[in-house]
C-alpha cells in the first residue's frame, strides 16, 4: 500500500507510530525509569472487554476468590480512555476486529495487551473457519499470551504477573519488545472487502475508508460538508 | 425504628463474616486443589506411547501431530510428536482416546508466554515437561499409577537412536 503523504498534514516521522518512540531520542532518564515502571506495573487499569467464555473466567479472576486487586489491577474501566491494559478475552471475529483495534487505539499510552485463551491466541477451535481472526496479534500488538480454553483464573493471574515482569524490564521511554502488527490483510480477506478497508484505515498512515489521508479531526477538505464545519479554514479567510 | 433494625441486621451479617476465614486464595503462594479432570495442560509420556496416532485422530482441532516409522521388531518409533497449545481447546478427547494413557491431563496451567511460538510443544519440549511433572509429583502419573524412573529415562534415551 503506497500512499503519497500530504506535507500540510502533521503526522509523525515515517516509521514512528507513537509518542514514546518519538521521545526516545529526546529525553534522558536515569532512576526515574525504575519509579515509572514500578508505578505502571503496580496500578494497571484494565479495559472492560470480554468477548466470549474467557470473559467469565476473567470475571472470576476479578472476584473475591482470586482477587485481581491483590496485583493492583482491580478496576475494569468501561471507557478505553481510562484504561491502559486490555485483556482480549475470547473469540475475535472479523466483524469485531475493527472494534478491537479501535478500542486499542483509544486507550491511553503506554498500553499493554494480554491475549487470553486459545481463540485470541491463534483462533482456537475456529482457526480454520471463515469468520474468525487467526490470532488477535494480527490486529493489535500482544505482550503476553495466556493459553487455555478458557484459561483458569490462576493462568490469567500468571499472565498478569508475567506482564508486570515485562513492565519492569521496560524502559520508561523505550520501545516495547512486542512486534507490531503489519496491517496487511491481503492474505486473509479479499480485495474490496469492507472489513478489510475499515481495518486498513485503522493502521498508519490512518487513511480514510476510501484511501485518503486523514487530518486531526478525521475530516478531509474534499469532504462535502468540510468547510461548513470548519469555516475558518475556508480559502480567502472571509466567511 | 425500622431504620435501626435494618442497621442491626446489617451489622449482624458483618460480624458473622468477621469471624470466618478469608475466601481469597493467595495464588502464587497457595493453590487450590484441582479436580482430576480439570482442563490443564496435556502431559505426554514417551515411555507409554506406541505411536498409534489415536490421539491425533480424536483431536477436533487437529493440534496433535504424530509421525512414526517402523522399527525392526515391528514397534513404531515416534519421530515427531507435537502439540500446538495455542490451538488446543483442552477438551480431553485425546486423553479418552489413548488406549495406553500415554497422554494425560494434569500438567501445568501457568504456562504463559510473551512469545506465542513457545506455546508450540515439540517432542523434546514435551519430554521435558513430562520429566518435570514426574519429578515434581514423586514419579506418579496423573492417573495415579507409579512410574519407573529407569524405564522413563531409557525410553527418553531410546528416542534419540
**pLDDT (tens digit per residue) in A55-73:** 999 999 999 999 999 998 8
How many angstroms away from the CA of B86 is the closest CA of chain A?
Answer: 5
| pLDDT tens profile B92-147 | 999 999 999 999 998 888 899 999 899 999 999 999 999 999 999 999 999 889 99
pLDDT at A222 (0 to 100): 59
List chain A residues with pLDDT less than 50.
237-239
**Angstroms from B98 CA to nearest CA on chain A:** 21
Q: Return the pLDDT at A88.
A: 93
In terms of Cα–Cα distance, which of A105, A107, A180, A99 is closest to A142? A180
pLDDT value of position A151: 92
Percent of chain B with pLDDT over 90: 52
- Mean of per-residue pLDDT scores for chain B: 89
In this prediction the pTM is 0.81
Residue B43 neighbours by CB under 8 Å, 6+ apart: B103, B104, B105, B106, B107, B126, B129, B130, B133, B142
Between B55 and B160, name the one with better pLDDT: B55
d(CA A195, CA B48): 49
Say what the pLDDT of residue B152 is.
86
Check residue B68 and give its pLDDT: 92
CA-based nearest residue to B160, from B70, B79, B45, B106: B79
Q: How far apart are CA B138 and CA B113, in angstroms?
A: 27
Distance from CA of A208 to the nearest CA of B (A): 32
User: What CA–CA distance (Å, rounded) separates A1 from A172?
Assistant: 33
Q: In a mutagenesis test of the A interface, which of B17, B22, B25, B27 is the best target, namely the one with the most A β-carbons within 10 Å?
A: B27
Helix, strand or coil, per DSSP, at residue A27:
coil
Q: Which residues of B touch A65 (CB under 8 A)?
A: 23-25
Q: Is B131 helix (H, G, I), strand (E, B) or coil?
A: helix
DSSP letter (8 states) at residue A77: B
Interchain contact, A127 vs B23, CB within 8 Å: no
8 Å CB contact of A157 and B28 = yes
For residues A136 and A52, the answer to whether their CB atoms sit within 8 Å is no
- Residues of B within 8 A of A129 (CB-CB) are none
Amino acid at each position: 500500500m503506497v500512499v503519497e503523504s500530504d506535507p500540510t498534514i502533521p503526522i509523525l516521522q515515517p516509521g514512528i507510530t507513537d509518542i514514546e518512540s518519538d521521545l526516545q531520542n529526546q529525553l534522558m532518564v536515569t532512576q526515574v525509569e525504575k519509579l515509572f515502571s514500578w508505578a505502571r506495573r503496580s496500578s494497571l487499569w484494565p479495559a472492560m472487554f470480554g468477548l466470549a467464555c474467557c470473559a467469565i473466567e476473567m470475571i472470576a479472576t476479578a472476584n473475591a476468590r482470586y482477587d485481581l486487586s491483590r496485583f493492583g489491577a482491580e478496576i475494569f474501566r468501561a471507557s478505553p480512555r481510562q484504561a491502559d491494559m486490555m485483556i482480549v478475552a475470547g473469540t475475535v471475529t472479523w466483524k469485531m476486529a475493527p472494534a478491537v483495534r479501535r478500542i486499542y487505539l483509544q486507550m491511553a499510552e503506554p498500553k499493554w495487551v494480554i491475549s487470553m485463551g486459545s481463540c485470541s491466541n491463534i483462533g482456537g477451535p475456529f482457526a480454520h473457519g471463515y469468520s474468525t481472526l487467526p490470532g488477535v496479534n494480527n490486529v493489535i500488538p500482544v505482550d503476553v499470551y495466556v493459553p487455555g480454553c478458557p484459561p483458569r483464573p490462576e493462568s490469567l493471574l500468571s499472565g498478569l504477573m508475567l506482564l508486570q515482569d515485562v513492565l519492569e524490564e521496560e524502559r520508561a521511554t523505550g520501545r516495547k519488545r512486542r512486534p507490531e502488527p503489519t496491517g496487511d490483510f491481503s492474505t486473509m480477506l479479499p480485495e474490496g472487502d469492507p472489513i478489510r478497508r475499515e481495518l486498513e484505515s485503522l493502521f498508519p498512515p490512518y487513511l480514510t475508508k476510501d484511501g485518503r489521508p486523514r487530518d486531526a479531526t478525521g475530516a478531509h477538505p474534499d469532504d462535502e460538508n468540510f468547510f461548513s464545519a470548519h469555516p475558518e479554514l475556508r480559502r480567502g479567510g472571509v466567511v | 425504628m425500622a431504620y435501626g433494625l435494618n442497621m442491626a441486621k446489617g451489622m449482624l451479617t458483618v460480624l458473622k463474616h468477621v469471624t470466618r476465614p478469608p475466601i481469597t486464595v493467595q495464588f502464587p503462594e497457595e493453590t487450590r486443589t484441582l479436580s482430576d479432570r480439570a482442563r490443564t495442560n496435556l502431559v505426554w509420556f514417551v515411555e507409554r506411547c506406541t505411536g498409534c496416532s489415536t490421539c491425533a485422530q480424536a483431536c477436533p482441532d487437529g493440534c496433535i501431530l504424530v509421525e512414526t516409522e517402523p522399527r525392526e521388531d515391528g514397534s513404531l518409533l515416534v519421530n515427531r510428536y507435537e502439540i500446538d497449545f495455542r490451538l488446543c481447546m483442552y477438551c480431553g478427547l485425546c486423553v479418552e482416546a489413548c488406549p495406553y494413557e500415554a497422554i494425560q491431563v494434569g500438567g501445568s496451567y501457568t504456562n504463559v508466554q510473551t512469545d506465542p511460538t513457545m506455546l508450540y510443544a515439540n517432542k523434546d519440549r514435551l519430554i521435558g515437561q513430562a520429566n518435570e511433572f514426574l519429578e515434581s509429583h514423586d514419579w506418579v502419573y496423573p492417573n495415579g499409577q507409579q512410574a519407573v524412573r529407569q524405564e522413563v529415562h531409557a525410553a527418553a534415551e531410546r528416542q534419540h537412536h
